[in-house]
């Protein structure tokens, strides 16, 4: 069985912690974790099963303060890969209180590029147990991946990760 490439960023924060939880839940032997700040197109191409972990910062800071973030540097690589035949899942961190109008938008931005390049995205999540105003991560009435709010709902993270990983296992052949 081939490993799942878990591409995440930034390192040493909430996305990293949630990525570790996902790795453990999937079985550590099944997952190779790759920080996006170290990743290349060839890293993406070698996996048929990929999970992306991304965070959303507030819209007012998205374009200015975070232009040199791990993901802003890595994002151009996403469109350089043909994802046909690849199974992809996304989890995203966001703040549903302070940024309820942009909740986990980065998942939606990422998903659009992945879908344009042929990705099959699995792991959609029903938004009914979340409070937010707007999100670009809603596709056909569902979150395109797993939203996590470590700022205001950290007590829900373990259960949400567990449920999500269990929904991914069949698609990833586990």
Q: Phi first, then psi: what are they for 146, rounded to 5°?
A: -95, 115
Structurally, how many domains does the chain consist of? 1
**Does residue 26 lie within any of the structural domains?**
yes
Helix axes 14-26, 157-168, angle to 10 degrees: 50
**Does residue 22 lie within any of the structural domains?**
yes
Strand partners, 31: 4
Structure token digits, residue 58: 């507030």
**Does residue 52 lie within any of the structural domains?**
yes
**Does residue 86 lie within any of the structural domains?**
yes
**Does residue 174 lie within any of the structural domains?**
no
pLDDT per position as a tens digit, 1-18: 589 999 998 888 889 999
Chain center to CA of 22: 11
Query: Which DSSP state fits 88?
Result: E
**Does residue 53 lie within any of the structural domains?**
yes
Number of neighbouring beta carbons within 10 Å of residue 45: 14
Domain that residue 104 falls in: 4-168
Residue in 117, 119, 113, 121 with CA at minimum distance from that of residue 142: 121
What is the pLDDT at residue 57?
64
pLDDT per position as a tens digit, 127-157: 999 999 989 999 999 999 999 999 889 999 9
pLDDT per position as a tens digit, 35-92: 998 899 999 999 999 999 998 764 444 444 444 577 888 888 999 999 999 999 999 9
CB within 8 A of 76, min separation 6: which ones? none
CATH assignment at residue 9: 3.40.50.360
CB within 8 A of 113, min separation 6: which ones? 75, 78, 79
């Amino acid at each position: 069985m081939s490993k799942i490439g878990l591409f995440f960023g930034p390192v040493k924060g909430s996305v990293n912690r949630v990525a570790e939880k996902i790795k453990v839940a999937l079985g550590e032997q099944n997952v190779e974790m790759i920080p996006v700040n170290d990743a290349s197109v060839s890293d993406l191409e070698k996996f048929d099963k990929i999970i992306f972990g991304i965070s959303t910062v507030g819209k007012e800071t998205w374009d200015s303060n975070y232009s040199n973030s791990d993901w802003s540097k890595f994002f151009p690589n996403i469109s350089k890969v043909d994802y046909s035949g690849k199974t992809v899942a996304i989890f995203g961190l966001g703040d549903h209180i302070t940024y309820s109008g942009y909740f986990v938008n980065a998942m939606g931005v990422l998903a659009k590029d992945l879908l344009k390049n042929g990705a099959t995205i699995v792991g959609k999540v029903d938004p009914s147990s979340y409070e937010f105003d707007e999100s670009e991560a809603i596709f056909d009435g569902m979150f395109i991946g797993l939203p996590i709010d470590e700022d205001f709902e950290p007590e829900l993270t373990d259960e949400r990760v567990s449920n999500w990983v269990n929904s991914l296992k069949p698609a990833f052949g586990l």
